[in-house]
Chain A
């Protein structure tokens, strides 16, 4: 279903609010992308890399012990954590780096929060032999040391960003500023379904493979479409990717879970869809966390990937029109879910994904027995083990401390 209401617009949201220097590059990207999409060899090339290198399709796994523990709907997991590099991010970076190569671009820049998008971009650049520079908030560089190492090992240059809140939003500002200076030969691989047109569309299209696979797999696994799909929402690329192919299916409830941080009343959260107001950030009009004077506020989440004060414009549109339901999960709830999923299913979910799991329990009960709930397992938690273990590990099941 097409949610695009005008070129680059999703209802009131979207657009292209960038310095004039970048406008011709965005137009060039829009044209090159349209041409690539019209060329069957491009789709075939992307599909081949996803199959041979990324390991797609990712599996749809029944979560039997969670289903039993939650006492409601059948719970299934779409396993993006099993994609190469450990998260859905690789779907988009493979697509965009192939597009950049097609456009004759000589180098790649990217921004990253948790580091998953940076690792995925560095990986695609290594695969296709393009130099890669990744901007990362200095705070995130500290808390995601493992991913910083992975990017460097893959040959990328990591640039810590010291301005502002030293997190994802500042990394994105710096990447845009750098892109303005090098726009003629550089492609900026945006990792979320955010930013100026055509990025929200490009990223969504490359991520929609998650939802398309899920449609086929759900039919095969339980003979119908899921009754509800839940995904975590930071900028929103895994969410729009898994949800978009179901927008036109009214029987499927679409649910996004945002970072509740220390609680919605605390002022320290990343809940742009829930508490954000209309504004312009990083080139697109969407819902953003800002004060009354239009200054962007710092977001907070235990998960670096959800620590972003904006959200993709298409998700803002889906939330405002009511097609997508929006809930939040706090840092503590996400942490509790991390251990629950680890111990009941043998999967360490990323802290981002743990937010989706945190709302899974009540959703499973709301839906009730005989219904099917799919949780998008957007990434694995290996990158988060330092953050999580620093808080102390709860005792093992059935063992007295």
Chain B
């Protein structure tokens, strides 16, 4: 298991904060400048960076990340290039920050599970999130990742029944990604009323930290959730800010969310 992810959560906890998992799209607007965006997120206080790798048919994503994926593909982003050009440079600039790849299962399959796991490990990737890979389909991939020491981070959804959520949590690697809303990625004005209960249920069952993601974009939301989770994921809001105003906007938004995460 990746020690880097556990250490990042422990460091945040020791400072009395929830952890911020910050998502960006590798290759948006192009590969080198996306490294600047990721670096700015870490400077703004991100504890873990989720490196999005674009896929042409992103069924779990809303319009903001979909748009970013289209731009990244046009800029020539591929999984291979992200592992060669984004991850090593980001790892060099932010050696303490765990990097987690987020993409779709077809992108990994095309490279080959074993080849990806080996490259990911060599380049310093700590974990992988695949939103279209439910536990039933993850057997072989997870065995490959386990053998390489790369965490396959599972997702729980609002529609996941309690027994299934507990099973997912018990068997988690890295952390458990609790999807906050029934829907695709993107900012929401309101989060569901029963979210805190669901987070507590997963937290009780999980040996790993639990984070909430999808729909979270403000310091207030982060503050509310940090009472029930070990951290939050912010994606679309950061992608939108970076696209509109560049790295400094992503840095500022991370800093603001981090203030909300203070307990």
Q: Are B184 and A181 in contact (CB under 8 A)?
A: yes
CB-CB under 8 A from A283, the residues of chain B are 59, 132
Q: Are A24 and B164 in contact (CB under 8 A)?
A: yes
- Contact partner of B66 among A15, A20, A24, A163, CB < 8 A? A163
CB-CB under 8 A from A295, the residues of chain B are 55-56, 73, 78, 107
Contact residues of B between 105 and 126, Cβ < 8 Å to A: 105-111
Tell me the minimal C-beta distance from B27 to chain A in angstroms: 12
Say yes or no for A55: interface residue by CB 8 A criterion. no
Counting chain B CB atoms within 10 Å of each CB, the highest count among A24, A177, A282, A294 belongs to A294
Say yes or no for B80: interface residue by CB 8 A criterion. yes
Tell me the minimal C-beta distance from B112 to chain A in angstroms: 10
Number of A-B residue pairs at CB separation under 8 A = 118
22 A-B pairs with CB atoms under 8 Å apart are: A17-B133, A19-B59, A19-B132, A20-B155, A20-B179, A24-B159, A163-B70, A169-B57, A170-B57, A173-B57, A173-B59, A176-B59, A180-B182, A180-B184, A181-B184, A279-B106, A280-B105, A281-B57, A281-B106, A282-B59, A293-B110, A295-B55
Contact residues of B between 51 and 70, Cβ < 8 Å to A: 55-62, 66, 70
Counting chain B CB atoms within 10 Å of each CB, the highest count among A17, A18, A173, A182 belongs to A17
Give bound CA distance, A360 to B60, whole Å.
42
CB-CB under 8 A from B41, the residues of chain A are none
Say yes or no for B157: interface residue by CB 8 A criterion. yes
Interface size on A, residues (CB 8 A): 36
Tell me the minimal C-beta distance from A275 to chain B in angstroms: 15
Q: Are B105 and A17 in contact (CB under 8 A)?
A: yes
CB-CB under 8 A from A180, the residues of chain B are 59-60, 182-184
Give bound CA distance, A170 to B63, whole Å.
13
Counting chain A CB atoms within 10 Å of each CB, the highest count among B55, B61, B164, B184 belongs to B184
CB-CB under 8 A from A16, the residues of chain B are 134, 136-137
Q: Are B106 and A294 in contact (CB under 8 A)?
A: yes
CB-CB under 8 A from A24, the residues of chain B are 157, 159-161, 164
Closest A residue to B156 by CB, please name it.
A20
Counting chain A CB atoms within 10 Å of each CB, the highest count among B56, B161, B168 belongs to B56
- Contact partner of A21 among B66, B106, B159, CB < 8 A? B159
Known: A181-B184, A294-B110. A282 touches B57 (CB 8 A): yes
Tell me the minimal C-beta distance from B174 to chain A in angstroms: 16
